[in-house]
A and B are shown apart, each in its own frame.
Chain A
Amino acid sequence: EVHLVESGGGLEKPGGSLRVSCAASGFTFENAWMIWFRQAPGKGLEWVGRIRSKVEGGTTDYAAPVRGRFTISREDSKSTLYLQMNSLKIEDTAVYFCSTGSPMGTFGDYWGPGTLVTVSS
């Protein structure tokens, strides 16, 4: 059974940095494209970015609001996905979800429960 669990969320000041993780199990992580989504409190869903499997280059795509500030990476030996968030803004406050399962990381087939990141002074 596919299992995804995010961790590392918390309170950070504007301009600060935070790294959230996603521990994966129940599938062959190294072959999977992985996705990050987010949802601001009371708002809709937003695609943050995705990372390809290493065999397909391990490259990343990002949404415009986070490009240049956020970095998605993976550690296949630990079946763990990361989202490094720098230069945080108040508008980055959201629940962050990791997801996988669809071809080429297009839609979210399996999701973790999410981790809340709050950016506030």
Chain B
Amino acid sequence: DIQMTQSPSSLSASVGDRVTITCRASQDIANYLSWYQQKPGKAPKVLIYDSSTLEGGVPSRFSGSGSGTEFTLTITSLRPEDVATYHCQQYDDLPFTFGPGTKVDIK
């Protein structure tokens, strides 16, 4: 199975800060990566797929990049409503696997 890691596991940032989360795959997954935002008690919501394609309706302050084994999710200007856990998922090979998540809160 492809192992996914994320760093950091949690972060605290100020409103307006630029936030970057890294996701690494244990083998080359090309650009077959999605990012989700999950708020407590809610289902995840897809933000980005195919590494860098923004899902419709997602604010443009979210962006994704990377290919192969290293990927990043960037929030260019953190807002209070961005407090959530962010998950990456690879879909290059079965079983599709997730990173452990990165919890983002406001300082």
Answer yes or no: do A and B interact.
yes
Using a CB–CB cutoff of 8 Å, the interface residues on chain A facing chain B are 44-47, 61-64, 97, 102, 106-109, 111-114
Question: When the two chains form their complex, are residues A44 and B43 in contact, meaning their CB atoms are under 8 A apart?
Answer: no
Cα–Cα, bound, A109→B45 (Å): 7
Please determine whether B95 and A107 come into contact, CB atoms closer than 8 angstroms.
no
Give 8 new A-B contacts, CB below 8 A, not counting A44-B87, A47-B96. A44-B99, A45-B89, A47-B95, A61-B94, A61-B95, A63-B95, A106-B91, A107-B49
Q: Which residues of B contact A (CB under 8 A)?
A: 1, 32, 34, 36, 38, 42-46, 49, 55, 87, 89, 91, 94-101
**Interface contact tally, CB-CB below 8 A:** 52
A97–B95 CB distance below 8 A: no
Give the complex CA separation of A111 and B99 in angstroms. 18
Closest chain-A Cβ to B99's Cβ sits at a distance in Å of: 7
Highest count of chain A CB atoms <10 Å: which of B91, B95, B100: B95
**CB–CB A107/B46 < 8 A:** yes
Chain B residue, CB-CB nearest to A48? B95
The smallest C-beta distance from B49 to any residue of chain A, in angstroms, reads 5
Considering the chains assembled together, what is the distance between the CA atoms of A71 and B37 in angstroms?
Answer: 28
**Distance between A68 CB and nearest chain B CB, rounded to angstroms:** 14
B53 to chain A, nearest CB (A): 11
**With the chains together, A64 CA to B46 CA distance in Å?**
24
**Given A45-B98, A46-B98, A109-B55, A97 and B89 touching (CB < 8 A)?**
no
Contact of B91 among A46, A63, A107, A113 (CB under 8 A): A107
A107 surroundings in chain B (CB, below 8 A): 34, 46, 49, 89, 91, 96
Identify B43's interface contact among A47, A61, A64, A114, CB under 8 A.
A114
Could you list some 15 contacts between A and B, CB below 8 A? A44-B98, A44-B99, A44-B101, A45-B87, A45-B98, A45-B101, A47-B89, A47-B97, A106-B34, A107-B46, A107-B89, A107-B91, A108-B34, A108-B46, A111-B44
